[in-house]
Amino acid sequence: MDPALKRKIRLIVALSAAVLLAVALIYTSFSASTEAKEPSQIMNAPNGGSYQLTGIVVPGSIHHRGSQLDFRVADRDDSSASIPVRYSGEVPDPFADGREVVVSGKVENGSFVGQRDSLITKCPSKYQTQAQQDPEHVIISR
Amino acid sequence: MITLGAACLFLALVVALYGIAAALLGATRHNRRFTDSARRAVYAFAALLTLCVIVVEAAFARTDLSLKVVADHSSTTTPGFYKLTAMWSSQEGSLLLWGWVLSLTSSAVLFATRNKHRELAPWATAVLMGLGAFFTGLMLFDANPFARLSPVPPEGVGLEPLLRHPAMAIHPPMLYSGYVFFSIPFAFAIGALITRRLDASWIRATRRFALIAWLLLGIGILLGARWSYSELGWGGYWGWDPVENASLMPWLAGTAFLHSIMVQERRGMLRVWNVSLICGTFALALLGTFLVRSGILQSIHAFGASTVGGPLLGLIAAVVVGSALLIVSRLDDLRSTKRIESLLSRESVFLINNLLLVGLAAVIFWGTFFPLISELFTGNKASLAAPWFDHYATPLAILLVLFTGIGPLLAWRRVSLGAAKRLLARPALVALVAAAGLFAFTDTRHHPLALAMFSFAAFSLAALVQEFARGAAAYRSLSGGSYGHALLALFARNRRRYGGYVVHAGVAVLLIAIAASSSFQTSRDLRLRPGQSASVGGYRVTYEKPTAQISPAEQRLTFGSVLAVAKGGKPYATLYPSRNYYAGAGDPTGAGPVRSFFEGQATSEVGRKTTVGGDVWTAMQPDLSSLNPVINGADRRLERIAKGVSPADAKARQTIGFLQGLAVRAIEKRYLADPPPADFRVNVNPLVTWIWVGGAIAAIGGLVAIWPAPEARRRRVSDVYAARLARELGRA
Amino acid sequence: MEIVLALVIVAAIAWFVTVPLRRSEDEASAVASRTEDPAIAALEARKEAKYREIRDAELDREQGKLSQADWSRQDAELRREAVAILKELDRARGAG
């Protein structure tokens, strides 16, 4: 076979593979992802919806019942909007009252059932408070 | 001293700006005086930043709390070693570290090339000083390590307990050094693009720096994984967390680069690939720095929103756009006339390798930034969890391990089909036997991807053994001697090639271990009272008794347990998982002093039995709800006592501190006397130790490849060939 | 005290960095002659790389990756390329 033709064929094969991979990537990522929501956004959501719940642990709401952990999560900016969470699985070290958490799971009858091991607790950040205190600083974030 | 340090930092910026100007003058006017002056500016920049680092570390060493960065990240009670490493747990300290390593490596490469590459070096100097000026400017205007506090606080916040671990002390400098070392080939590549000197000169000048970058970054990544596995109560080594991905992406691109430049050095091909790969690797390295420092993505590591995110993003954009423009404008000069002759050749394998590694990096990039991408299209931040990454990374990794075997087997230019069949036959046979054996005799048949990984890795290892064996045999047929001597001679004569083979072997072992420890892991969550037992994957675990400890030096209370593990009825191991609670100084919830122990940061001490076959791993968390009445009672009593005391009464405050200590001891006694149930996670991880072993093997191989051959040997080889070719030229 | 130190450092750096700018003509030409010619350096590097290729091809033949026929073809081609580089080197050295 003419080498130039061979090269063209190889290029087409490689490009097609890349396009296929890209399409598969895009399709699966939109269907496999979970949206990040705050409690106020999912309080009235229908049952069975999967989300990634983000917010602050309401102080005093942490109860260990057997191997299940119950707590409430409130909006970062509105502590009155909170939703109860039932979770079992690994609890990260920094988990405590007032900490910012992310937990994936489903909405069920007005409360949030967390997926096993999906609880992430953010380390309390000093940079954050600094940046928030100085209004002139530009912050790249949510 | 602090003022001097601040002055040095400012001076460093001035010097860097001068360096840019002098380098550009030297480059555009071919004026050697300016080029040399610019190079000296780099040396001066390094000296100044070294002074800054010394001043800051000295402040940490004597816990000078007037310095904000010391007050925010250290305390008088922080152990000595961690006082020094606390510098890079801060934004300011990390930037200083970045800038300092940049200054040292820039000095090194410019010193090494002071009488060479006279067209490339000035431009490279300008780029490197540009980066130096950026980071110095960032420090001066956004995150100054010499910022002072007034009034001086009585005590510092202390180091994040999670960071009080040797691996966590070395991990950030390793990663940053890895990122920074990639700036050297990047700078020379920009020089090459600008001057259109697109042969292998820029690669020759900087190849070792790229290798060192790759090695340090790889070690940094492994250290992070190892720390996560042995210290965190999660028991995993990789979670596809954005910050983990941020360090892996430049490493993958860097690996592709290291392979691809070999093709350019030999055949002058893949030149567009190489400049693109190094610009991409460096951009990804900057992105890695940005991701960790900006809080833009949800991550347990992300250090929260900060003010350096914006400028860093600007730098990344400048690097990406600038490189792209340069490359596109030089495309004609870059395109090579040579073509890959045959699919069965090393060149072709390296090209496929490029595609696989870049593909993997692209997948990880997409997944990591998906929350932002989805926000663009749907208005909602949606994120992808580990299973999505595994879904794509696993097949790509399986293909990669296959090529770590095929590459070494093939020769350059072309291998005939017959020869290829002969070369691949034995390793392929080994792979088939391994696959058949695993399928028939183990549980692997239910895990097809793991089976594929094991077989292909077996192929690769067999191929590498074959390479060493044939090489040694060829050497012996020429020079005689023992096999051992022949093997050593192979390494001595061609460190790059055989060091590289050792790296491949390490990677194959590492991937086998990852496949085994993830596909075949057994994990159970148990809730046990003292005396109770449960079964986990072939082992029987019994919570024997509780343990408790107080460390006044570390201000730490530890609640733990003794867990007896039996296998097949016989005692196998005793594990001591525990949980540490720390006296918090910076907790904002304003709880009572005793409760603050349990409300603040806690860390897990993992219990682990490691053998070559695998690990039994456990972490525990005691259920403290039964201790609540005691804790609350102690706090109430302490509060009443504190009310009747004036804040100025130092002696009374000392007594209160003493009483707090007594209260904590009372709780400790209560825990031991009437232990509450504890939650245990027990994991059985097969072959996980081989991850670290494989990584170590790869690192050693990398070191061998980096090690320069003695000058004498190189000359000898060269002379031999010169003599033979001289005959051809008809000279005596 | 710190101010004095700072000034000393500034002076030292200013002196150090401007040494090349204050070079005499003789020193400048001495420096220039020390510097390698990029064209010759590149050719030397290509020569070394070509030698390495020739040696590697021999090793590959000994290990059985290349048949005798394949090897002799490649070896001849590599030697032709090496001789071409040597000729270019001679020309460049003669011209420089």
Instruction: Report the distance separating Cα C43 and Cα C29, nearest Å.
Output: 24
pLDDT averaged over every residue in chain B: 87
Kindly state whether residues B600 and B496 are assigned to the same domain: no
The pLDDT of residue B9: 95
**Residue-level pLDDT at A124:** 58
B173 preceded by a cis bond (ω within 30 of 0): no
Between strands A100-108 and A50-57, the pairing is: antiparallel
Give the least confident one: B69-73, B591-595, B633-637: B591-595
To the nearest whole percent, how much of chain B has pLDDT over 90? 47
Please check whether residues B453 and B355 belong to one and the same domain.
Answer: no
Q: How far apart are CA B392 and CA B399, in angstroms?
A: 11
| pLDDT of B208 | 93
* Chains B & C: contacts with CB separation below 8 Å: 138
Highest mean pLDDT among B42-56, B167-181, B322-336, C51-65: B42-56
Give me the residue label for tokens 């993003």: B313
The secondary structure element, H or E, covering residue B176 is: helix B166-181
- Is the domain of A29 the same as that of A99? no
Asked whether residue B627 is assigned to any structural domain, the reply reads yes
- My answer on whether A82 and A106 are in the same domain is yes
Q: CA B605, B609, B612, B615: dihedral to nearest 10 degrees?
A: -70
Q: Which of A37, A51, A39 is nearest to A106 (CA)?
A: A51
- The answer to whether residues A27 and A41 belong to one domain is no
pLDDT of residue B588: 40
Q: Please provide residue B157's backbone torsions phi and psi, each rounded to the nearest 5 degrees.
A: -70, -30
Single out the residue in B98, B128, B160 at which a domain terminates. Answer: B160
**Domain of residue A62, residue span:** 36-123
Which of B11, B32, B467 lies nearest to residue C31, judging by beta carbons? Answer: B32
What number of H helices and E strands is found in chain A? 3, 8
Give the three-state DSSP class for B710. Answer: coil
Which of B160, B183, B213 is the C-terminal boundary of a domain?
B160
Nearest CA in chain B to A135: B307
Per-residue model confidence (pLDDT) at position B286: 93
Residue, of C48 and B223, whose pLDDT is higher: B223
Residue A132 included in any domain: no
Give the gap in angstroms from C-alpha B680 to the nearest C-alpha of chain C: 56
What is the structure's pLDDT at B477? Answer: 80
Beta partners for residue B213, in sequence order: none
Q: What is the dihedral of CA A83, B235, B608, B558, to 10 degrees?
A: -40
Are B331 and B187 in a shared domain? yes
- Across the range B23-28, mean pLDDT stands at 94
Nearest to A96 among B371, B382, B600 (CB): B600
Higher-confidence position of B318 and B732: B318
Give a yes or no: residue B667 inside a domain: yes
CA B147 to chain centre: 29
Kindly state whether residue B540 falls inside one of the protein's structural domains: no
Could you tell me which of B336, B469, B500 has the C-alpha nearest to residue B403?
B500
> What is the predicted pLDDT for the residue at A127?
38
Q: Which residue of B has its CA nearest to A90?
A: B234
Three-class SS of B222-290: HHHHHHHHHHCCCCCCCCCCHHHHHHHHHHHHHHHHHHHHHHHHHHCCCHHHHHHHHHHHHHHHHHHHH
User: What residues of chain B lie within 8 A of the CB of C45, using their CB?
Assistant: 200-201, 204
Phi, psi (deg, nearest 5) at residue B542? -130, 130
* pLDDT reading at B703 higher than 60: yes
Given a cut of 80, is residue B93 above it in pLDDT? yes
The total number of structural domains in chain A stands at 2
Kindly determine whether residue B423 and residue C36, on different chains, have CB atoms separated by under 8 Å.
Answer: no
Structure confidence by residue, pLDDT tens digits, B522-566: 988 888 999 999 998 889 999 999 999 888 777 788 999 999 999
Two tokens at C61?
A: 């033949």
d(C-alpha B541, C-alpha B575), whole Å: 10
Within a domain: A135: no
Q: What is the pLDDT of residue B302?
A: 47
pLDDT in tens, B476-512: 887 778 888 888 888 888 888 899 999 999 999 999 9
What residue numbers bound the domain in which B474 lies? Answer: 416-520+690-731
Express each pLDDT in B129-161 by its tens digit.
Answer: 999 999 999 999 988 999 888 888 888 877 776
Minimum mean pLDDT among A106-120, B9-23, B114-128, B557-571: which range?
A: A106-120
Residues 11-70 in C contacting B (C-alpha not used; CB under 8 Å):
13, 16-21, 23, 28, 31-32, 34-36, 38, 41-42, 45-46, 48-49, 51, 53-57, 59-60, 62-67, 70
CB B60, CB B173: distance < 8 Å: no
More confident call, C53 vs B704: B704
Of B3, B201, B416, the CB nearest to C42: B201
Quote the tokens at residue B333: 């000069």
Residue A82 has pLDDT above 60, yes or no: yes
pLDDT exceeds 70 at position B725 = no
Domain identity same for A82 and A112: yes
Closest CA to B70 of B1, B147, B9: B147
Question: How many other β-carbons are positioned within 10 Å of the β-carbon of residue B76?
Answer: 11
Chain B residue with CA closest to A115: the answer is: B385
Q: Which carries the bigger pLDDT value, residue A124 or residue A73?
A: A73
Q: How confident is the model at residue B324 (pLDDT cuts 50, 70, 90)?
A: very high
In this complex, which chains have at least 3 CB pairs below 8 Å with chain B? A, C
Q: Does residue B396 fall inside a structural domain?
A: yes
Q: Residues A56, A73: one domain?
A: yes
Residues A8, A43 share a domain: no
Q: Is the pLDDT of residue A129 over 50?
A: no
Q: Given an 8 Å threshold on Cβ–Cβ distance, is B384 in contact with A64?
A: no
User: Which of B303-317, B439-453, B690-704 has the least mean pLDDT?
Assistant: B303-317
Residue B300 lies in a domain: yes
Residue B224 lies in a domain: yes
> What pLDDT is recorded for position A136?
33
Determine the Cα–Cα distance for residues C36 and B116; give it in Å rounded to an integer: 5
What gap in Å lies between CA B672 and CA B559, rounded to an integer? 9
Tell me the backbone φ, ψ of residue B260, rounded to 5 degrees: -65, -35
Cβ atoms of C82 and B725 within 8 Å: the answer is yes
Residue B436 burial (CB < 10 Å; 0-12/13-18/19+)? exposed
- Would you state the pLDDT for residue B322? 94
Q: Are strands A50-57 and A34-37 parallel, antiparallel or unpaired?
A: parallel
* Stretch C27-52: mean pLDDT: 83
Q: Are residues B181 and B318 in the same domain?
A: yes
Q: pLDDT by residue (tens digit) across B365-392?
A: 999 988 888 888 888 788 888 889 999 9
The last residue of a domain, from among B412, B440, B471? B412
Inter-chain touch A93–B232, beta carbons under 8 Å: yes
- pLDDT at position A133, please? 37
How many separate domains does chain B show?
4
| Integer Cα distance of A122 and A92 in angstroms | 9
**pLDDT confidence tier of residue A135, bands split at 50, 70 and 90:** very low
pLDDT above 50: residue B456: yes
Same domain, B671 and B726: no
* Lowest-confidence pick of B44-53, B206-215, C29-38: C29-38
- Nearest-by-Cβ selection for B15 from C13, C42, C60: C13
- Mean pLDDT calculated for residue range B75-102: 87
What is the predicted pLDDT for the residue at B303? 43
Say whether both A112 and A47 belong to one domain.
Answer: yes
Residues 6+ apart with CB under 8 A from B504: B404, B405, B407, B408, B460, B464, B701
Which of A74, A64, A80, A65 is closest to A112 using CA atoms? A74
CA dist., res. B570 & res. B35, Å (int): 73
Q: Is A24 in the same domain as A63?
A: no
Separation CA B332–CA B528 (nearest Å): 71
Query: What pLDDT does residue C96 have?
Result: 53
Reading phi first (left if > 0) and then psi (alpha if -120 to 50, else beta), residue B541 is in beta
- A25 and A41 part of one domain: no
Residues B4 and B139 in one domain: yes
Task: Let me know whether B33 and B117 are in one domain.
Answer: yes
Residues A16 and A40 in one domain: no
Alpha helix (H) residue ranges in B521-615: 595-599
| Top mean-pLDDT range of B409-418, B508-517, C34-43 | B508-517
The answer on B351 and B313 residing in a single domain is: yes
What is the reported pLDDT for B7?
92
Q: Per the structure block, which two tokens stand in for A108?
A: 């069920």
Is the separation of the CB atoms in B494 and B644 below 8 Å? no
Contacts of C83 in chain B (CB under 8 A): 725, 728-729
Secondary structure string (H, E, C) spanning B457-473? HHHHHHHHHHHHHHHHH
Residue % of chain A over a pLDDT of 70: 82
List the single range of A64-68, B259-263, B572-576, C53-57 with lowest mean pLDDT.
A64-68
Find the CB nearest C6 among B7, B118, B201: B7
Say which residue, B615 or B152, is predicted with more confidence: B615
For testing the chain A interface, which of B162, B380, B559 should be mutated: the one with the most A CBs within 10 Å? B380
CA distance B277 to chain C (A): 22
Alpha-carbon separation of residue A71 from A11, B500, B627 (angstroms): 56, 52, 19
The Cα–Cα gap between B422 and B442 comes to: 31
Please indicate whether residue B320 or residue B307 has the higher confidence score (pLDDT). Answer: B320
Residue B254, in any domain of the structure: yes
d(CA B107, CA B711): 23
pLDDT value at residue A139: 27
* Pair A12, A46 in one domain: no
- Do A105 and A87 fall into the same domain? yes
**pLDDT at site A132:** 38
In this predicted structure, what is the pLDDT of residue A7?
76
Mean pLDDT comparison of A2-11, A31-40, B14-23, C38-47, highest-scoring range = B14-23
Query: Higher pLDDT residue, B645 or B181?
Result: B181
What's the rounded mean pLDDT across residues B581-605? 64
B304 and B201 assigned to the same domain: yes
Q: Is residue B79 helix, strand or coil?
A: coil
Residues B201 and B350 in one domain: yes
> How close A45 comes to chain B (CA, Å)?
15
Residues of B in contact with C46 (CB under 8 A): 199-200
Mean pLDDT of B173-196: 95
Answer yes or no: do B358 and B484 share one domain.
no
Domain containing residue A83: CATH number: 2.40.50.140
User: Are B339 and B430 in the same domain?
Assistant: no
